[in-house]
Structure 1
Amino acid sequence: MEPSPGPAGVIRRIEPEVETTGSIYPFVRTFPNPHSKSVREARPMLSRLALSTLLLIIALGGAVELLTLWWMQTPPSRVQNLSEELIMGAQLTGLIGGYLLLIEVALMARLPWLEHRIGSWLASLHRYLGGYLFMLLTMHVGLVLAGYSLSLGAPVNTVFLDVMRTYPDVLIATIAYLLLLCLGLSSARKIRRKLGYERWHMIHLIAYPAGILAYGHEIAMGAQFTRNEYARYTWTGLSVAVAFAVFVHRVYVPLRRHVRHRLRISHIVAEAPDTFSIYIKGSHIDDLNAVGGQYFRWRFMARGVWYQSHPFSLSAHPTDDTLRLTIKGVGGYTRRLKRRLRPGQRVFADGPYGAFTAVLRRRRRVLLIGGGVGVTPLRAIAETLDGNERDVIFAQRASSEHDLLMADELWRMQRQGKLTFLPILGKRGKTAKEDPMHPQQLLWRIPDLREREVFICGSPGMVNASIRNLRKAGVKRRYIHSELFDF
């Protein structure tokens, strides 16, 4: 590692460049590295907010159609007492819950046209809707039992057992609900952290059999589908379309890419005692259209790890025949990788995914802020930025100099005039003097901060704290792009 620049260098002030044009911030819409085919051909995207709004409108349109169908088949004259009201409510919550389950499974299909435009927002939306799905399905079960219990004048447990014996499809629905209950509980933050990524991901896969079982129950017992042929065929068509999308993008496309690209580990380089880079070579890498900032789901065909796939970002912009990822051994899986990976082993790569790329750039001057392994996608993005050491500042947040990741490469990129590397060391504090990321310190170090486009990547705590400090420093939210390293 290059010798430390010392305290004065670590907290140095980045002076703005004064140009003869009279404006030090000319609006130059410069985009990524022209040497990258995939970046060069990138088209202007619909903004995340606009696309998210459009998708929300489409989803709400489907929900409104379902509500209309339910209302037309449930005229007020048919609802004579409380038990019937409860049963009608159960039908409504079941209908909307089933629709939401279809949306949730569709979000898991990793549709490229969504992944490359919304990226990590998909995971946030999936997690957000999951809470409402669990609530609707629980209400559906409760309303069904309460309605029939009141109608028959029998205890809830008696009604439940009687319905289970009389209607086999209810048993299927119960199994589906219990599977989704396990999935929902495993996604709670505290439980998710205790489970770890591997167990959490395996549990999450039960959404597929749960969806199949739920579909059987809906078609067999859903009043709206048994009475209305159009509704039944429409629902079946939606379900088949979602299942087809999942099969194509989760099974067929990854297998086809594996056959075409024939990825294998070329060599492994130790970057630090607990950090290593994996260089992967293959055929037709350009056809993947991957760019710096994106990630793949990697499955390494080595003993003890082949049955798991994990997401890792590219730590360098792809070349014609090579992909690189950098991993820090912080958990059981990554430590096993370090011990068991060898050159020549086959690799399955599913991707690329993510919209956290230089295509989001709208300003010439850029600030990259990374913490921990969040440095790796930013390091790859830095390669695709067309600028110099004054245009691009790479700030790495770390407790000490020993915690800096990929520092040798970043110092080298600074010597080459591609960027300015700015380590920001120290623990988080409450005052401007104690906190190296305090708005006052940020403005002192980077006087033109308000005129820069900012990319942030790291842990949720680090990213959220950085966004708050940047906003307090006067950076507009639309010029801040972030990616959370969480699951």
Structure 2
Amino acid sequence: MIDTARPTPRTPPSTTERARLRDAVPPAESLDIAARRRRRAGRRRSAMTDLLGILAWVSAAIAVTLWLASPGSHTVVGIGGWLTDAGIVAGLVATDLVLVMLVLAARVPLIDRTFGQDNAIAVHRSLGKPVLYLLLAHGALLTLGYGASAGTGPIAETIALFSTPDMPLAYLGLGLFVAVVVSSLVAVRSRLPYEAWHVIHLLSYAAVLVALPHMLSVGSVLAQGMWQRVYWIALYVLALGLIVLYRFALPVVVTLRHRIRVVGVEPIAPGVVSIHLAGRDLDRLGAEGGQYGVWRFWTARTWWHAHPVSFSAVPGRDRARITVRDLGAGSARLGRITPGAFVSLEGPYGLFTSRARTAPYLALVASGIGITPVRSLLEDTDLRPGEATVLLRGTDADQQYLWHETADLAETTGSRLYTMVGHRSRSRESWMTEEDVRRGVSLRSVFPNLLQSDLYVCGPRAWSDLVVREARTAGVPEHQIHQERFES
């Protein structure tokens, strides 16, 4: 049931403190100025997001245009010529989108700041199936086209192509990409250990590399036309260069510069631990409340597993903290790490921060381990009394992770805090408990200024999707909804 009480009793503010908080409230015109600044910042981010999307499709259009402008590379003769040309176009667009996918997965700071790494990865995943279909069409159409032109059947033409130099690598690249896309399907990924899925996903890099010789030697696009060759090689260098720079080189530099080590592991609930870290100049990481890092703990049992985990507190000069729930074999081992273990870090990443705000009020909703970015966001945001409202959701007392700390932060900032404890409703699809459903509780009743609020939601995917769906139904603009999905 939803409750306005703190998880534990707190001493109310003194008369002097209440007066201080009341006097701290700025005049209405200051609120309007702050809101206008946030809206302008939101419009700039939206424009940048649109620009990146346009550039991605423009790059594919340029690739096709260069091929069309190349004399002799697209002579159409009969049905075989049409099939061959269609296969080439499918391959051009597919290859371009593969390189776009690599750029989106490279964790480029500009992309992260513009629309968040989680959104970039969502777009990356959404391109997987279209690219696979285009690659399959590329192979099938070329095989049929060459066969029709030569008067041979598809099987004979496939055998002939396979005997061509570098074509076995092209088939290998296609097979690797099929494995990557299939392993990313929800039904398949849920059955795979994270480690196995991660290794399979790394094959996408290998798929791109092994297909390159085929494009340079067999593919008529890169073998003919100097401008096309320059364009495609530049695209490959850009995509693979960003991967090398931001996925490998920069994390090494960050790790060596800050020398992060584990100094303590604190159990806070069954299956949940806070890992306390120490390092050098950690405040210079530039981490904001709500962001996450990809952590690797260099012990014999954990070095091979990277963990995307949010900061559960804003890093100080030489201290940082993350809080981890046991969601599998890899994360379970983190609770047994001994102090002194060396830690490497990629990040910080994410746009689940106050930088994304566009509205005058702040609404925070967290469930389970989703409290971690919400707690650090609340800590890191400059708030006026009454500006923020926090709702914490847990199935039972064992899921009230960091609730005491969050209550203290809410009291310090003059924010309202609500808690909701109990199993989700079974009578209807809802993110609330059965009792709250019967009482008619809604986002609008918990957050009176919901339509004038930035709504930050973090928790298990299915639960947080229900919260976001209700917010959209209530009329909250899309740019005011910020969702960080945690797997249950």
TM interval, short-chain normalised: 0.7 to 0.9
Q: Which residue of 2 aligns with 1:38?
A: none
The 3-state SS of whatever aligns with 2:192 is helix
Kindly provide the amino acid, as one letter, of the partner of residue 159 in structure 1.
E
- Residue type matched to 2:284 in 1? D
**Amino acid paired to 1:81:** G
Q: Is 1:27 aligned to 2:32, yes or no?
A: yes
Q: 2:420 aligns with which of 424, 427, 442?
A: 424
2:11 corresponding residue in structure 1: none
Residues 56 and 228 of structure 1: is their aligned pair in 2 closer, same or farther, counting only changes over 3 Å? same
Q: Residues 387-446 of structure 1, C-alpha deviation per residue, up to 9 Å, x if partnerless?
A: 255222221122233322212212333443553321123313538994737985333333
Q: 1:383 corresponds to which residue? A: 379
What residue number does 1:39 align with? none
- Label 1:158 to 1:77 Cα distance change in 2 as closer, same or farther (>3 A): closer
Q: Does structure 2 retain, via aligned residues, the 8 Å contact 1:366–1:391?
A: yes
User: Per the alignment, in what secondary structure is the counterpart of residue 71 of structure 1?
Assistant: helix
- Pick closer, same or farther for the CA change 1:366–1:92 going to 2, 3 Å: same
Secondary structure of the residue that 1:375 maps to in structure 2? Answer: helix
Aligned-partner Cα distance in 2 for 1:183–1:131: 10
Map of 1:449 onto structure 2: 450
Q: Which residue does the alignment assign to 1:249?
A: 246
**Local SS of the residue matching 1:258:** helix
CA distance in 2, matches of 1:457, 1:297: 18
Q: Please tell me whether residue 222 in structure 1 is matched to residue 219 in structure 2.
A: yes
Q: Distance in 1 between matches of 2:335 and 2:344?
A: 17
Residue identity in the other structure for 2:155: N
- Deviation, 1:215, is 1.5
1:252-304 deviation line (CA, Å, top 9, x unaligned): 11111111111100111111121110111111212211111111110001121
Over 3 Å counting, the alpha-carbon distance change for 1:61 and 1:475 in structure 2 is closer
- Report the counterpart of residue 319 of structure 2 in structure 1: 322
Which stretch has the larger CA shift, 426-435 or 374-383? 426-435
Equivalent residue for 1:64? 61
Which position in structure 2 is the counterpart of 1:146?
A: 144
Count of residue pairs the alignment pairs up? 465
For residues 241-390 of structure 1, the aligned pairs below 5 Å read: 241-339=238-336, 341-387=337-383, 390=386
1:350-373, Cα deviation, whole Å (9 max, x unpaired): 111111111122334211001122
1:402 and 1:388, CA in 2 relative to 1: closer, same or farther beyond 3 A? farther
- Would the alpha carbon gap of residues 466 and 232 (structure 1) be closer, same or farther in structure 2, given more than 3 Å must change? same
Instruction: Give the one of 108, 113, 116 matched to 2:110.
Output: 113
After superposition, the Cα gap between the structure-2 partners of 1:151 and 1:372, relative to the gap in structure 1 and judged at 3 Å, is same
| Aligned equivalents of 2:4, 2:94: Cα separation in 1 | 59
Secondary structure at the aligned position of 1:27 is classed as: helix
Aligned to 2:10: none
The alpha-carbon deviation at position 313 of structure 1 amounts to: 0.7
Q: Secondary structure at the match of 1:116?
A: helix
Give yes or no for contact 1:276–1:326 (8 Å, CA) kept in 2: yes
The question of whether the paired residues in 2 share the 8 Å contact of 1:397 and 1:424 is answered with yes
> Does the CA contact (< 8 Å) of 1:28 and 1:363 recur in 2?
no
Q: Classify 1:473/1:60 alpha carbon distance in 2 versus 1 (closer, same or farther; 3 Å).
A: closer
Q: Call closer, same or farther: CA 1:132–1:74 in 2, change over 3 Å.
A: farther
Corresponding residue for residue 127 of structure 1: 125
Distance 1:301 1:276 in 2: 18
Mapping of residues 431-442 of structure 1, within 5 Å: 434=434, 436=436, 440-442=441-443
Superposition RMSD on alpha carbons, in Å?
3.0
Q: CA separation of 1:78/1:241 partners in 2, compared to 1, >3 Å: closer, same or farther?
A: closer
8 Å Cα contact 1:295-1:311 kept in structure 2 = yes
1:411 — aligned with what? Answer: 407
Partners of 1:99 and 1:6 in 2: CA distance = 50
Q: TM-score, normalised by structure 2?
A: 0.87
Q: Which moved more, 1:191-200 or 1:443-452?
A: 443-452
Structure 1: stretches of 5+ with no match in the other structure: 12-16, 32-42
In structure 2, what residue type is equivalent to 1:436? D
Measure, in 2, the Cα distance between the counterparts of 1:252 and 1:77.
41
Which residue identity is paired with 1:332?
A
Deviation at residue 206 of structure 1 after TM alignment: 0.8
Say which SS state the counterpart of residue 219 (structure 1) adopts.
helix
Q: 1:416 is paired with a residue of what secondary structure?
A: helix
Task: Identify the residue that residue 94 of structure 1 maps to in structure 2.
Answer: 91
Distance change >3 Å, CA 113–CA 435, structure 1 → 2: farther
Corresponding residue for residue 12 of structure 2: none
Amino acid at match of 1:449: L
Q: Please list the CA deviations of residues 297-322 of structure 1 after superposition, one character each: whole Å capped at 9, or x if unmatched.
A: 10001121101212101011111111
One-letter amino acid of the counterpart of residue 383, structure 1: E
Change (3 A) 1:347 1:200: same
Deviations 1:326-379 (A, max 9, x none): 00112111112212x111110001111111111122334211001122111011
Taking a change above 3 Å as real, the CA distance of residues 150 and 389 of structure 1, as seen in their structure-2 partners, is: same
* Contact 1:45 1:117 (C-alpha < 8 Å) held by counterparts: no
Residue from 389, 395, 402 that aligns with 1:399: 395
Instruction: Identify the match of residue 183 of structure 2 among 171, 181, 186.
Output: 186
Q: Which moved more, 1:467-476 or 1:175-184?
A: 467-476
Change (3 A) 1:454 1:230: same
* 1:144 alignment partner AA: L
Q: 1:450 to 1:265 in 2, by over 3 A?
A: same
Please tell me whether residue 471 in structure 1 is matched to residue 472 in structure 2. yes
Structure 2: which amino acid aligns with 1:392? Answer: A
In structure 1, give the amino acid aligned to 2:259: R
Conservation of the 8 A alpha-carbon contact between 2:215 and 2:223: no
CA distance in 2, matches of 1:77, 1:100: 21
